[in-house]
Amino acid sequence: MSQLTDDSMSDDVFEDELRAPAQRGTPSPTGYRDYRPAETPARIQQDDDVPIHKTILLGDSGVGKTSLLVQFETGKFQAGNFSATVGIGFTVMLLGDSGVGKTCMLVRFRDGTFLAGNYISTVGIDFRNKVVTVDGIKVKLQIWDTAGQERFRSVTHAYYRDAHALLLLYDVTNKTSFDNIRAWLGEIREYAQDDVVIMLLGNKSDSGLERAVRREEGQRLAREYQVSFMETSAKTGLNVEAAFAHVARSLVAKANPVDPARLAVRAQPSQEQKSSCPPCS
């Protein structure tokens, strides 16, 4: 296809309007002679992660809502006894600079795998769902993975108000990402709900000699802003499950007040912690 120039809008486009209807070509919304409309894809990939329309199944417990959904999705009947699908649902947002590991954190939690190698940065907002059990209650977490680039910041701001919990990540090998945490917390205070659950996560704790931010610095910042703190590794899985479990437990406790002792952060000790450092708080 020839390269478009400033005079690519041919006179043929306008002359076409003077021809008889039977002689006219396909109208071009751009006015360019070589325009071809994009083909509509046969199907949307990963359609369970790209919501277009939502249908809600309602009715008493036990009437067969889940079986109906399974039958529709898989063509199979779900036999046997099973517990209620979801007791309560919450929205959790992952925030932080680009490259701190938000998408890797989500993939590790959702699928139990590590997203290795180079990949395209998140554009705008993406999300995944996962059901966890907290003290016998099934909790559905809808986790929003946000873009960390400045040009997408206005997009993510629009979602702050709907989030019940925020996981704020920095990269322990990137001092700038840690220094920017104060700015992120400022945005949270401005746009999010006043009672939103916030947890600070120092990701990539497996990096060893590449570390640029000490654990104590993260703990100190978390105490200053009165938020929970934990160091994680999306690569090894360290504290990923624990972080989401703590957030889910905190959200359930807000909906159903419980003994505060049940809300203690239960972090897994890393290799360097096992002999010397108590769990983070």
List per-residue pLDDT tens for the chain, 281 residues long. Answer: 444 444 444 444 434 444 444 454 444 443 444 444 444 334 334 444 444 445 666 666 666 666 666 566 556 554 544 444 457 899 999 999 989 999 999 999 999 999 876 555 544 578 899 999 998 889 999 999 987 555 556 667 888 999 999 999 999 999 999 999 999 999 999 999 999 999 999 999 999 999 999 999 999 999 999 999 999 999 999 999 999 999 999 999 998 765 555 556 667 666 555 444 444 54
User: Does one domain contain both 161 and 62?
Assistant: no
Does a structural domain hold residue 71?
A: yes
Q: Which domain holds residue 63?
A: 55-81
Task: Identify whether residues 73 and 111 lie together within a single domain.
Answer: no
pTM of the model: 0.63
Q: How far is CA 57 from CA 53, 63, 137, 138, 209, in A?
A: 13, 11, 20, 17, 52
Give the chain's domain count: 2
Pair 70, 92 in one domain: no
d(CA 151, CA 203): 23
**pLDDT score recorded for residue 8:** 42
In a domain, 110, yes or no: yes
pLDDT of residue 146: 84
Q: Within this chain, do residues 144 and 253 fall inside the same structural domain, yes or no?
A: yes
200 part of a folded domain? yes
| Residue 230 resides in a domain | yes
Q: Are residues 71 and 105 in the same domain?
A: no
C-alpha 93/C-alpha 102 separation (Å) is 10
Same domain, 73 and 109: no
Same domain, yes or no: 118 and 247:
yes
For residue 241, is it within any domain? yes
CATH number reported for the structural domain that contains residue 157 in this entry: 3.40.50.300
| Predicted pLDDT of residue 87 | 75
Q: Are 207 and 105 in the same domain? A: yes
| Structure confidence at residue 159 (pLDDT) | 86
- Please report the pLDDT score of residue 140 as a whole number: 94
Query: Nearest-5° angle of CA 159, CA 224, CA 164?
Result: 25
112 and 67 belong to one structural domain: no
The pLDDT score that the predictor gives to residue 120 is 52
- What does the DSSP assignment read for 245-280? HHHHHHHHHHHS---GGGG---PPP-TTTTTT-PPP
Asked whether residue 230 falls in the same domain as residue 205, the answer is: yes
**Residue 49: alpha-carbon gap to chain centroid:** 11
The pLDDT of residue 127: 85
Residues 62, 141 within the same domain: no
In a domain, 278, yes or no: no
162 domain-assigned: yes
Same domain? 70 vs 106: no
Residue 28 belongs to a domain = no
